[in-house]
Amino acid sequence: MEVFKSITKTSSPFFVVCILLLFANAASEKTHYHDFVIQAEPVKRLCNIHNTITVNGQFPGPTLEVNNGDTLVVNVVNRAQYNVTIHWHGVRQIRTGWADGPEFITQCPIRPGKSYTYRFTIQGQEGTLWWHAHSSWLRATVYGALIIHPKAGESYPFPNPKRETPVLLGEWWNANPIDVVRQATRTGAAPNVSDAYTMNGQPGDLYKCSSQDTTIIHVDSGETNLLRVINAGLNQQLFFTVANHKLTVIGADTNYVKPFTTSVLMVGPGQTTDVLIKADQPPARYYMAARAYASAQGAPFDNTTTTAILEYKSSCSSNCANTNPVFPSLPAYNDTATATAFTTKFRSPRKAQVPTEIDENLFVTVGLGLENCPSGASSSSCQGPNGTRFAASMNNVSFVLPSNFSLLQAHHQGIRGVFSTDFPANPPLKFNYTGNVTRSLWQPIRGTRLYKLTYGARVQVVLQGTGIFTAENHPIHLHGYDFYIIAEGFGNFNQKTDTAKFNLVDPPLRNTASVPVNGWTVIRFVADNPGVWLMHCHLDVHITWGLAMAFLVENGVSELESLEAPPEDFPVC
């Protein structure tokens, strides 16, 4: 207090105001402490009780709410039989890569009976994110919403909604999801598709034994509400709509966008979309519904539909609860035109700070492939097409996770032999990426290859989809960064003609981009966050097969441009 009195006596009024604002901001920023206990609990879905891995006995797990600038301290205790990590999807993790969470990338897993405390600060982000397990297929049931409100005293750039509701879209297997992926790994075949989709953990009343527990979201006539839509599903992009209601998109992946109105969303796994919905229809019950956008021709998928109910509460007569909800119109499963019309509407609300000069220019093919059956292997382990094993790759490198160290630990401690830094900036061969690809190009090379970036490098990545085996839409997620999506299109990216499509004025800022089926997407970002950052397809079946790579971003010159030291309780392999 004496120091403050001295400052006020000797300083200008402007300086005093600045100091007061600094103290006020510091006082408004809070630290939130949570305990996550990971353990199996009985969960009843689709007529049966399943022993399900949950957080604090909840499925989905708890919703965390913070303000921009707040710090989260989450102690994770693993009482399950599996290794586990938690990823805070979309959190920038500035200098705190040790808290990012992907198994064997930034940390070794939390072993059964052990614990680890994640500590990180939200910096400059507002909107909807989520957290999920990043170990095997545990995120099928281990996930929850992470809501970031504006700083205390600040407001949304739109009128405050009457209510805010997270809508978590998920996938449910009647089998243990870990067993599903382990069987696929043993056989080399595709894993079984899910048995249901869910909204806030419930399949909805179109599924057997589910109508009584269908999620109901109440509204009052005339009010405007905020829906925070999160696709927490493992392997499927989803169309989402509300019967007879328009949705005004105002944000995605904790970035505000130029508002636009639509009747349907297409949300890829990992993506979040914030929408305003006005209760302007006759008082009744209306279905909210989601089902697959399945772009891979001929590939099996879960063709069921999950529902929740939007119910006009105060204006609804006493017998309203007994009436059938109004059912919406949903796009066809393969409606790429609707998916594209939606994804290309996103714009930043003002002129964006897009890098215009590029230091690192990468061209990265993404897609599936097939591995030849290893010499001496039994036919039971090669049950993919024509006696092969499914694989996936970026630039023909099928990513292999290390097992003795995490990549970040190996980088920080200078441990040799864990990874190399020779991930190719271009595909090893040029070919007609989206055409009929010759069988000789279907076999990827396995490896743990990283791409090194100097601190502050301005990076452009062309993500080129391929027709190897089958083409489909890939949701590509980059850890540790948001990036500008400056263009997308179909066919093979053409450097000479497609650069004219680049939006360098107001492109959207995202953390997960949908690469169109038989098409391409171009992203840009500045490498201003040191560490090792995974870039991967958020279809978990694809990352299981190796559709991933990682950037190694070196420290800058100052302490504030350098990775923090690992915490004392950092898990060891």
CA 140/CA 272 separation, integer angstroms: 17
Which pLDDT score is estimated for 323? 83
432 CB-side CA count, 13 A: 5
For residue 283, the domain's CATH number is 2.60.40.420
DSSP-derived pairing of the beta strands 445-447 and 397-399: parallel
Q: Is residue 451 domain-shared with residue 533, that is, in the same domain?
A: yes
Instruction: Inform me whether the pLDDT recorded for 193 exceeds 70.
Output: yes
Q: Which of 157, 187, 213 is the last residue of a domain?
A: 157
Decide: 537 and 366 in contact? Cβ < 8 Å. yes
Confidence of residue 26 (pLDDT cuts 50, 70, 90): low
Helix-helix angle 13-28:2-10, to 10 degrees: 150
**Cβ contacts of 86 within 8 Å, gap of 6 or more:** 36, 74, 76, 101, 118, 131, 132, 133, 134, 142
Residue 469 has pLDDT above 90, yes or no: no
Give the mean model confidence (pLDDT) for residues 244-267: 98
What mean pLDDT is predicted for residues 187-192? Answer: 96
Q: What is the pLDDT of residue 8?
A: 47
Please indicate, yes or no, whether residues 378 and 517 belong to a single structural domain of this protein.
yes
**What would the pLDDT profile of 443-460 be if each residue is shown by its tens digit?**
999 999 999 999 999 999
Q: What is the gyration radius of the CA atoms in the chain, in angstroms?
A: 24
Give me the residue label for tokens 């205790």: 77
Note whether 63 and 52 are same-domain residues: yes
Q: By the 8 A CB rule, do 215 and 202 touch? A: yes
Asked if 403 and 450 touch (Cβ cutoff 8 Å), the reply is no
The CA distances from residue 325 to 3, 224, 306, in Å, are 65, 20, 14
pLDDT of residue 320: 67
User: Looking at residues 536-550, what average pLDDT do you find?
Assistant: 97
Residue 522 lies in a domain: yes
Give residue 428's region: left, alpha or beta (phi > 0; psi -120 to 50).
Answer: alpha
Pairing verdict, β 548-553 and 531-537: antiparallel
Q: Measuring CA to CA, which residue among 405, 401, 549 is closest to residue 107?
A: 405
- Cα separation of 454 and 266, whole Å? 35
Residue 352 in any domain: the answer is no
Whether residue 77 is found in the same domain as residue 222: no
Domain count of the fold of the chain: 3
Tens digit of pLDDT for each residue in 36-85?
Answer: 999 999 999 999 999 999 999 999 999 999 999 999 999 999 999 999 99
Q: Give the model's pLDDT for residue 458.
A: 98
Tens of pLDDT, residue by residue over 498-528, are 999 999 999 999 999 999 999 999 999 999 9
- Mean pLDDT of all residues in the chain? 94
Q: Which of 314, 345, 376 marks a domain boundary?
A: 345
User: 568 lies in a domain?
Assistant: no
User: 4 lies in a domain?
Assistant: no
**What's the average model confidence in pLDDT over 383-403?**
96
Nearest to 543 by CA among 264, 208, 136, 179: 136
Based on the fold, state whether residues 307 and 397 are members of the same structural domain.
no
Full-prediction pTM beyond 0.85?
yes
pLDDT tops 90 at residue 314: no
- Beta strand ranges found along 178-246 (DSSP E): 196-199, 216-219, 224-231, 237-242
Res. 108 pLDDT band, cuts 50 70 90? very high
- Cβ neighbours for 211, distance < 8 A, ≥ 6 positions apart: 204, 205
Does 147 share its domain with 165? no
Contact 549, 537 (CB under 8 A): no
**End residue of a domain, out of 137, 157, 177:** 157
pLDDT, tens digit (0-9, with 9 covering 90-100), for 551-572: 999 999 999 999 999 999 999 8
The dihedral through the CA atoms of 140, 143, 145, 148 has a sign that is: negative
> What type of residue is 501?
K
Residue 389 sits in the same domain as residue 251? no
Average pLDDT of the segment spanning 287-301: 95
Of 176, 207, 186, the C-alpha closest to 291 is 207
95 and 191 part of one domain: no
Residues 368 and 482 in one domain: yes
Structural domain boundaries enclosing 81: 13-157
Query: Alpha-carbon distance 362 to 502, whole Å?
Result: 16
- In contact, 230 and 63? CB cutoff 8 Å: no
Reply yes or no on whether the pLDDT at 21 is more than 90.
no
Task: Report residue 391 as tokens.
Answer: 């694989």
**Which residues in 315-326 are b (16+ Cβ under 10 Å) and which e?**
ebeeeeeeeebb
